[in-house]
Structure 1
């Protein structure tokens, strides 16, 4: 059992990191309003953790977190039904 869920979580983290980085570049280039929303969330994270984040990293972090959350929802629904 732990091998199955551990593999899924590890794959989720890896895919989210790679896809999140690519999507972050797309977001910053083609959808500035969404990029600003990510930057706003990033500024809130800076206040929460007490350390500055580079602008691009903050937006990428938001995308990666959203992808990880969606992956978890899809996994849960797929594994446990509704």
Structure 2
């Protein structure tokens, strides 16, 4: 059982990293205001963590974190249902 669960989490991390990087480049190219909002959120995240990071890295990190969160929510609902006992 742990191999199946671990593989799912490893796959989600890998896909989030790859897709997040590609999406970040797309966002910086075609929607600069949204990219700047991600960079601002990334700067706040960087301040909390205490590690100075570049604007591009923090914007990409925000995209990867959002993708990971969405993946986790979808995985939870797919695995455990909608919570009404079905």
Q: TM-score, normalised by structure 1?
A: 0.94
Q: How does 1:43-82 map to 2 (within 5 A)?
A: 43-82=43-82
Q: Which has the higher helix share?
A: 1
Give structure 1 regions of 4+ aligned residues with deviation exceeding 3 angstroms: none
SS in 2 for 1:62: helix
Question: Which residues of structure 2 form unaligned runs of 5+?
Answer: none
Provide the C-alpha distance between the structure 2 equivalents of 1:30 and 1:5, rounded to a whole number of angstroms: 36
Question: Which residues of structure 1 form unaligned runs of 5+?
Answer: none
Greater relative contact order: 1 or 2 (C-alpha under 8 angstroms, separation 6 or more)? 1
1:80 to partner: Cα distance: 0.6
1:46 to partner: Cα distance: 2.1
